[in-house]
Amino acid sequence: MIEFEHVSKHYGDSTVAVADFSARIPAHTTTVLVGSSGSGKTTLLRMVNRMVEPTGGRVLIDGEDIAGTDPVALRRRIGYVMQSGGLMPHRSVLDNIATVPRLLGTSRADAHRRAADLMELVGLAPTLAKRYPAQLSGGQQQRVGVARALAADPNILLMDEPFAAVDPIVRADLQAELVRLQDELGKTIVFVTHDMDEALLLGDQIIILEEGAQVAQRGTGPEILAAPANDFVAGFLGLHRGTRTLHVRDNTQGRIVVDERGRAAGRLAEGP
Ligand SMILES: Nc1ncnc2c1ncn2[C@@H]1O[C@H](COP(=O)(O)OP(=O)(O)OP(=O)(O)O)[C@@H](O)[C@H]1O
């Protein structure tokens, strides 16, 4: 479990990226931080692997304050996937994926074997192993990024808008793959996006952020769809524009979520 306890982040005198944020991210689930540009999502994500140090408050992983851990060691046991892929351009796909296991002392042969398995896991053909990142499509590069993040078998996976730069059809493929992977692997995933549809698809828990990482609402997708907390959330959901395709409907078995054709897409959990 990851816990944010009253964390804040100030830059200089005037920028408050994060005012006062607290949250619990349960293990083996996907939590999506969603909000508009500049709301502090990336800042929060990077606090988890100490790429950003909070100005105040604490971040705990399994009860341990990470301020007392070695940041390099911490980063090697947390997977991190960025929008840009962040692949090393002069290294092959296989070497890119094998990077962290090699740094952790795994032999080259073992690291390559593991990398080949991971390529299969994320849906990359073995024939791509010797290519360089520039010889891959955007979607393939993001798959390499996911495989690399999984290479050291981390419990935690941080994903910062990993699918934002690819076209909508490839994005839908990557999202579906992530759902499948997560079913199989059960990682603790923190996923940042500004796309509410992506949040609804991937998030067991969704935290909607306003400027300064103020929490506008948190809950499951169906909970948020059923009862948007305020106008900001309703606006974010696109309810004012009538563009949202999922709706909540009451039937004899309780409240269900239905898609644009009225087909049931899920059941709304009973509140406490
Ligand atoms: N190194 C920095 N120095 C100064 N200000 C920063 C720095 N990093 C982020 N900020 C500011 O902190 C605020 C939150 O930034 P952050 O990148 O966390 O937002 P975000 O929600 O991830 O946005 P986006 O969706 O555009 O990536 C912004 O106002 C940003 O300009």
Model ipTM? 0.93
Residue 272 belongs to some domain of the structure: no
What are the pLDDT tens digits along the chain (272 aa)?
A: 999 999 999 998 789 999 999 999 999 999 999 998 889 999 999 999 999 999 999 999 999 999 999 999 899 889 999 887 789 999 999 999 999 888 888 899 999 999 999 999 888 999 999 999 999 988 899 899 989 999 888 999 999 998 888 888 888 888 888 898 899 889 999 999 988 889 999 999 999 999 999 999 999 998 998 888 988 898 888 766 555 566 666 665 566 666 665 555 555 555 44
CA distance 250 to 182: 30
pLDDT at 104: 84
First to last CA, the chain: 22
pLDDT at 226: 85
The finding on whether 38 has its CB within 6 A of some atom of ligand 1 is: yes
Residue 148 belongs to some domain of the structure: yes
Q: Which CATH number belongs to the domain containing residue 140 in this structure?
A: 3.40.50.300
The finding on whether 84 has its CB within 6 A of some atom of ligand 1 is: no
Residue 65 belongs to some domain of the structure: yes
Atom of ligand 1 nearest to the CA of 194: 25
Domain holding 79, by residue range, is 2-221
pLDDT at 167: 83
The finding on whether 43 has its CB within 6 A of some atom of ligand 1 is: yes
Residue 121 belongs to some domain of the structure: yes
Residue 227 belongs to some domain of the structure: no
pLDDT at 80: 92
The finding on whether 37 has its CB within 6 A of some atom of ligand 1 is: yes
pLDDT at 37: 87
What residue owns the CA closest to ligand 1's atom 30?
38
The finding on whether 267 has its CB within 6 A of some atom of ligand 1 is: no
Residue-by-residue DSSP string for 114-138: HHHHHHHHTT--GGGTT--GGGS-H
* Distance, C-alpha 267 to centroid of its chain: 24
The finding on whether 194 has its CB within 6 A of some atom of ligand 1 is: yes
The finding on whether 11 has its CB within 6 A of some atom of ligand 1 is: yes
Residue 236 belongs to some domain of the structure: no
Distance 2 CA to ligand 1 centre (A): 21
Number of domains into which the chain is organized: 1
Distance 165 CA to ligand 1 centre (A): 18
pLDDT at 1: 94
Render the burial of 23-62: b for 16+ CB within 10 Å, e for the rest. bebeeebbbbbbbeeebbbbbbbbbbbbebebeebebebe
* Total number of residues shown for the chain: 272
pTM across the whole model: 0.86
The finding on whether 217 has its CB within 6 A of some atom of ligand 1 is: no
Residue 256 belongs to some domain of the structure: no
pLDDT at 271: 46
pLDDT at 255: 60
